[in-house]
C-alpha cells in the first residue's frame, strides 16, 4: 500500500530496504513530547487565525493529548512504515479523531515541524547540561575550599614546575566549566527562534500567526527567512561544539584522575563507588569511570564532525540528509550529561593524600623559581642573572642527588657570595604557594576567596 501521508501519486509502496533506510522513528520517537507540543501550538493558532473552526481545533487538541497520554504510558506502537514521529503521531490522531486529523497539517510541513522539534529538544537539553555543569562546579568549589592550602606539584610538560594548591587546581576546572556554561547559554539564545510556519520552504498562503506559535513555544521570535528556517542545523552544530569543548575539559580532568590514582603518583584516592576491580589481579582499583569520561569525549567530538560533514555540501533548502542530525546530537548531548554526572560523583568522593602531594610538590626543584625571585628581590640581580645562578645551584644539588635546601650556605655562596641564610625560608613549598598572592595566583588565601566567591555565585543545588 502506498503511504497515506504522501502516497497519492504512488502506485506501490516502498521497497523493504527503502523503508529501512528512510525510517527515523527508531530514534526520533524521543521527539514525541516536542512534536506534540508544537502541534498543540500550531492547531491553537490555526483556530485563532480563523483557518480552522473551533470544533476541529478542540477535537484535534483532545486527540493530541490522548496520543501524548498513550506515549507517556508506553502504550503507543511505533511503526517503521510510518517513517517518523511526525507521521506516527498524525496517524494515531486520525485513528482517534477521524479525518479531521488531516486538518492539523494545514500551513505546515514536516520540514518546519522537525526543525521546531529539534530546537525544542536541544534547548531543553542545553538547560539541563547547564544545571549539571553548575553542580559539578559546586562539587569542585567545595573540595577546593576544603583544600585551599593543600600543596601539590604544579606541572608544565608534566615535569615538576612550581608548587600550587589542590584547591587552585580544581578551581581551574570551575573556570573552564563557567565558560562551557556560557557557551551553552549563547547557543540557547541564538537557537531560540521558531521555524514553525516556514512550511516546506517558502512560507504559506494561509494567514497564520507565526509570532503566536513562537511565543506559545517559548521562543523569542519566529525565524525571519523561511528557507533558512528549514535548511540549517547550525543550532545543533553550535550545541555540539559547546558540548565537544566541555567534553574535552572533562576528558583532561579525567586523565589527571587516572594518573593521580596510579600507585606511582598516589596523589588522590577514589572511592569504591567509582572504581572497579580486576578479575585476575586482586590488588587492582581501576578508575574506570574516569577512563570512560576520557574516552566518551571522542563520541561527542565525533558527532560534531559527523554533522558538519553532513551539512557542508547541502544546497538549500531541506534535504533528507538532515535527518542524520538526530542520532549524533541525541547521543552526544546525553553522553555529555552522563559524563558531567559521573565527574560530579567522582569529585565528591575524591580524597587527596596531603603527605604524598606535599612530598611530590617539593621534588624536582620545584622551588627554584622562588630562589631566583629571592636573588632578584633581596640582592637586586636582574632576573636573567638570578635564573643563571639558580640553574647552577640546581645543577650542583642534582649532581649530588639532594634538594636545594640541603645545599650548605658555603655551597650557595660559591655561586653568589651575597646569599644569606634567609634564603632557606623561600625553599619550602608552603612558603612558595603562600607567596603567590598576585591576582589569580595560587596563594591559599586567594584560593579560599575564589572558592567562596564561586560557592556564593552557585548557591545551593
Ligand atoms: N524525519 C524527517 C527528518 O528528520 C522529517 C522531515 C521530512 N521531510 C521531508 N521533506 N521528507 O528530517
Tell me how far the alpha carbon of residue 200 lies from the centroid of ligand 1, in angstroms: 10
Tell me how far the alpha carbon of residue 62 lies from the centroid of ligand 1, in angstroms: 25
For residue 85, the ligand 1 atom closest to its alpha carbon is 1
> If DSSP codes are grouped into helix, strand and coil, which group holds residue 334?
helix
Average pLDDT, the chain: 96
Say which residue the cell 538547560 belongs to: 127
Q: Out of 2, 278, 305, 398, which one is annotated catalytic?
A: 278
Q: Is 157 a catalytic residue?
A: yes
Domain range annotation of the chain: 17-103, 110-202+224-360, 363-459
Q: Supply the ipTM of this predicted assembly.
A: 0.98
- Does position 1 have pLDDT exceeding 60, yes or no? no
Say which residue the cell 521546531 belongs to: 116
Which of 177-186, 198-207, 269-278, 415-424 comes out lowest in average pLDDT? 269-278
Q: What's the distance, CA 331 to chain centroid?
A: 12
| Average pLDDT of the segment spanning 385-405 | 94
- Higher-pLDDT residue of 12, 153: 153
CA distance 372 to 154: 18
- Does position 6 have pLDDT exceeding 80, yes or no? no
CA distance 257 to 267: 9
Per-residue model confidence as pLDDT tens digits over 407-419: 999 999 999 999 9
Per-residue model confidence as pLDDT tens digits over 18-37: 999 999 999 999 999 999 99
Q: What's the distance, CA 413 to chain centroid?
A: 54
Total-model pTM = 0.94
- Does position 450 have pLDDT exceeding 90, yes or no? yes
Structural class in CATH, domain 110-202+224-360: mainly alpha
Per-residue model confidence as pLDDT tens digits over 146-199: 999 999 999 999 999 999 999 999 999 999 999 999 999 999 999 999 999 999
Per-residue model confidence as pLDDT tens digits over 285-312: 899 999 999 999 999 999 999 999 999 9
- Does position 461 have pLDDT exceeding 70, yes or no? no
The residue whose C-alpha atom lies closest to atom 10 belonging to ligand 1 is 111
DSSP assignment of 255-290 equals HHHHHHTSTTT--EE--GGG-B--SS-TT--B-HHH
Confidence of residue 455 (pLDDT cuts 50, 70, 90): very high
Q: Are 63 and 97 in contact (CB under 8 A)?
A: yes
As given in the structure block, the three cell numbers for residue 442 are 595560587
CATH of domain 17-103: 1.10.275.10
State the DSSP code for 424: G
Output the pLDDT for position 268: 97
Helix (H) or strand (E) holding 163: strand 159-165
Q: Is 388 a catalytic residue?
A: no
- Does position 43 have pLDDT exceeding 80, yes or no? yes
Per-residue model confidence as pLDDT tens digits over 310-341: 999 999 999 999 999 999 999 999 999 999 99
- Higher-pLDDT residue of 81, 284: 81
DSSP assignment of 183-205 equals HHHHHHHHH-EE-TT-TTTT--S
Output the pLDDT for position 182: 98
Percent of the chain with pLDDT over 70: 99
CA distance 149 to 442: 9
Q: Are 358 and 344 in contact (CB under 8 A)?
A: no
CA distance 311 to 324: 9
- Does position 269 have pLDDT exceeding 70, yes or no? yes
Q: Are 361 and 376 in contact (CB under 8 A)?
A: no
Could you tell which of 26, 81, 110 is best to mutate to test the pocket of ligand 1, judged by most ligand atoms within 8 Å of the CB? 110
Could you tell which of 90, 111, 196, 330 is best to mutate to test the pocket of ligand 1, judged by most ligand atoms within 8 Å of the CB? 111
Q: Which residues have C-beta atoms less than 6 Å from ligand 1?
A: 24, 28, 84, 110-111, 114, 318, 320, 322-323
Confidence of residue 8 (pLDDT cuts 50, 70, 90): confident
CATH of domain 363-459: 1.10.40.30
Output the pLDDT for position 2: 62
Confidence of residue 278 (pLDDT cuts 50, 70, 90): confident
CA distance 129 to 367: 40
| Average pLDDT of the segment spanning 422-426 | 92
CA distance 253 to 21: 39
Amino acid at each position: 500500500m502506498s503511504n497515506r501521508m504522501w502516497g497519492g501519486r504512488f502506485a506501490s509502496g516502498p521497497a523493504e530496504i527503502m523503508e529501512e533506510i528512510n525510517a527515523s522513528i527508531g530514534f526520533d520517537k524521543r521527539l514525541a513530547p516536542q512534536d506534540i507540543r508544537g502541534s498543540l501550538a500550531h492547531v491553537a493558532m490555526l483556530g485563532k487565525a480563523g483557518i480552522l473552526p473551533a470544533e476541529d481545533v478542540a477535537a484535534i487538541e483532545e486527540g493530541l493529548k490522548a496520543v501524548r497520554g498513550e506515549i507517556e504510558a508506553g502504550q503507543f506502537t511505533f511503526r517503521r512504515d510510518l517513517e517518523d514521529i511526525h507521521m506516527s503521531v498524525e496517524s494515531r490522531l486520525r485513528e482517534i479523531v477521524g479525518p479531521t486529523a488531516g486538518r492539523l497539517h494545514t500551513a505546515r510541513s514536516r520540514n518546519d515541524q522537525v526543525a521546531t522539534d529539534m530546537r525544542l529538544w536541544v534547548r531543553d537539553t542545553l538547560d539541563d547540561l547547564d544545571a549539571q555543569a553548575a553542580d559539578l562546579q559546586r562539587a569542585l568549589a567545595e573540595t577546593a575550599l576544603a583544600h585551599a592550602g593543600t600543596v601539590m606539584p604544579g606541572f608544565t610538560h608534566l615535569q615538576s614546575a612550581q608548587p600550587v594548591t589542590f584547591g587552585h587546581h580544581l578551581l581551574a576546572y570551575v573556570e573552564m566549566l563557567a565558560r562551557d556554561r556560557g557557551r551553552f547559554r549563547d547557543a540557547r539564545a541564538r537557537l531560540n527562534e521558531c521555524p514553525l510556519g516556514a512550511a516546506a520552504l517558502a512560507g504559506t498562503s494561509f494567514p497564520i500567526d507565526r509570532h503566536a506559535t513562537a511565543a506559545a513555544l517559548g521562543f523569542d521570535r519566529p525565524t525571519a527567512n523561511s528557507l533558512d528556517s528549514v535548511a540549517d542545523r547550525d543550532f545543533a552544530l553550535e550545541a555540539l561544539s559547546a558540548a565537544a569543548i566541555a567534553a574535552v575539559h572533562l576528558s583532561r580532568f579525567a586523565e589527571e584522575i587516572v594518573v593521580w590514582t596510579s600507585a606511582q603518583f598516589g596523589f588522590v584516592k577514589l572511592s569504591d563507588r567509582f572504581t572497579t576491580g580486576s578479575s585476575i589481579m586482586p590488588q587492582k582499583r581501576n578508575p574506570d569511570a574516569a577512563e570512560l569520561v576520557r574516552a566518551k569525549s571522542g563520541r561527542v567530538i565525533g558527532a560534531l564532525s559527523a554533522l558538519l560533514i553532513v551539512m557542508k555540501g547541502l544546497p538549500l533548502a531541506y534535504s533528507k540528509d538532515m535527518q542524520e542530525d538526530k542520532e549524533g546530537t541525541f547521543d552526544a548531548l546525553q553522553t555529555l550529561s552522563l559524563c558531567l554526572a559521573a565527574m560530579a560523583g567522582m569529585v565528591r568522593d575524591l580524597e587527596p593524600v596531603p603527605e604524598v602531594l606535599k612530598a611530590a610538590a617539593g621534588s624536582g626543584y620545584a622551588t627554584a623559581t622562588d630562589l631566583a625571585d629571592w636573588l632578584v628581590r633581596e640582592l637586586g640581580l636582574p632576573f636573567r642573572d638570578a635564573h643563571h645562578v639558580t640553574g647552577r645551584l640546581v645543577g650542583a644539588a642534582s649532581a649530588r642527588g639532594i634538594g636545594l635546601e640541603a645545599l650548605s650556605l658555603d655551597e650557595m655562596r660559591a655561586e653568589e657570595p651575597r646569599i644569606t641564610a634567609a634564603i632557606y625560608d623561600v625553599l619550602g613549598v608552603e612558603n612558595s604557594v603562600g607567596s603567590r598572592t598576585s591576582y589569580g595566583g595560587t596563594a591559599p588565601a586567594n584560593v579560599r576567596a575564589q572558592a567562596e566567591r564561586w560557592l556564593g555565585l552557585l548557591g545551593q543545588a
